[in-house]
Amino acid sequence: MARPLVDTFGRVHRDLRISVTDRCNFRCTYCMPEEGLEWLDRSEILTFEEIEQIARVMVNTFGVDSIRLTGGEPMVRANLDELVSRLAALGTDVAMTTNGSTLRRHAQLLKDAGLRRINISLDSLQQERFLELTRRDELDTVLDGIDAALEAGFDPVKINCVVMRGVNDDELVDFARFGRDMGVVVRFIEWMPLDADEGWTNDRVVSQKEIVAAISEVFPLEPIQRGHEPAQRFRYLDGIGEVGVIASVTQAFCGDCDRVRLTAEGQFRNCLFAVDEFDLRTLVRNGASDEELAAEIERGVGAKWAGHQIGKVNFIRPHRSMSQIGG
């Protein structure tokens, strides 16, 4: 019988985010500096067998029922469908966040392997702006990847858009219209202080209130009762779909957060903004038992703090950027 993975504040953790690689085929301006980052050596990255062992402990011991694969860009990892198949066999919901650039080649393969849900990161629908943000002229490829995900039968397909004041906040209604026309769910994300260049400032955060107001002027919205998911959801009053906002900065949901993270090199993180990590890779490679892994995971979750405190004087910025942690 699985036991709940509970921190000292009584929060039960059932959502595991696994970064399968630190590498990415895009170099998004808010994820990494223009010169790029120093990639981990292949030997430092967890193998599929090691990921499976840790995931099995999380599922069987603690009842984790949701696993999301992230990166970097997860699809630069060769034979990703094999890992999806291994994780799906554990009986848990397996999802992935991707930039969508290679979905045309892999969407059906991943669906057949057991991937249930997919989120595609897309921060602009304008060709030149997309190039400026990602340093890659591949907007059409990503849009085709969205088509491929829909054709493969993923439902829902979600689009993640990080909103930055003065950068892409003029595209809110365009994204809403795109989601309605395509039958996909757009989720707007408040920009968080996880950029590699450390250029984040609070005044560049576009709040949930502003996002919803801008869209509602054209497509009226009403809120949907919120559960444990990070996004506050809103339905269109005309019944054509919904939109979500992840207000990590202005309306932090730390009290309801049920996520933990595993980095590509096997460091366990109890929060996206954690400053401490717990080394599961060394345990696994030294032959640790499932019970020993479970004890270290419980120790990590037990050290989780009440909340990230973004915007407050006691906020401590993580030493890793988003691309190194995993979404």
7 within some domain: no
228 within some domain: yes
Q: What is the pLDDT of residues 143-167, one digit of tens each?
A: 999 999 999 999 999 999 999 999 9
Query: Before 227, cis peptide (omega within 30)?
Result: no
Identify the three-state secondary structure at position 260. Answer: strand
190 within some domain: yes
2 within some domain: no
Listed residue (105, 121, 111) closest to 70, CA to CA: 121
In order along its 327 residues, the chain shows pLDDT tens digits of 799 999 888 889 999 999 999 988 776 666 655 666 677 899 999 999 999 999 999 999 999 999 999 988 999 999 999 999 999 999 999 999 999 999 999 999 999 999 999 999 999 999 999 999 998 999 999 999 999 999 999 999 999 999 999 999 999 999 999 999 999 999 999 987 655 555 657 778 999 999 999 999 999 999 998 766 788 999 999 999 999 999 888 887 666 788 899 999 999 999 877 778 999 999 999 999 999 999 999 999 998 876 555 554 455 555 555 556 665
Alpha-carbon torsion, ordered 40, 249, 119, 79, to 10 deg: 10
Domain range for 195 is 15-325
5 within some domain: no
CB atoms < 10 A from the CB of 286, how many? Answer: 8
Whether the full predicted model's pTM is greater than 0.85, yes or no, is yes
In what order do the strands lie in the sheet containing 232-236?
221-223, 232-236, 242-246, 185-190, 157-163, 117-121, 93-98, 66-70, 15-19, 259-262, 267-269, 278-279
265 within some domain: yes
Supply the DSSP string of 162-230, one letter for each residue. Answer: EEBTTTTGGGHHHHHHHHHHHT-EEEEEE--S--TT----GGGBPPHHHHHHHHHTTS-EEE----SSS
Residue with tokens 């932090």: 252
CATH at 304: 3.20.20.70
10 within some domain: no
What is the amino acid identity at position 217? E
8 within some domain: no
How many domains is the chain partitioned into structurally? Answer: 1
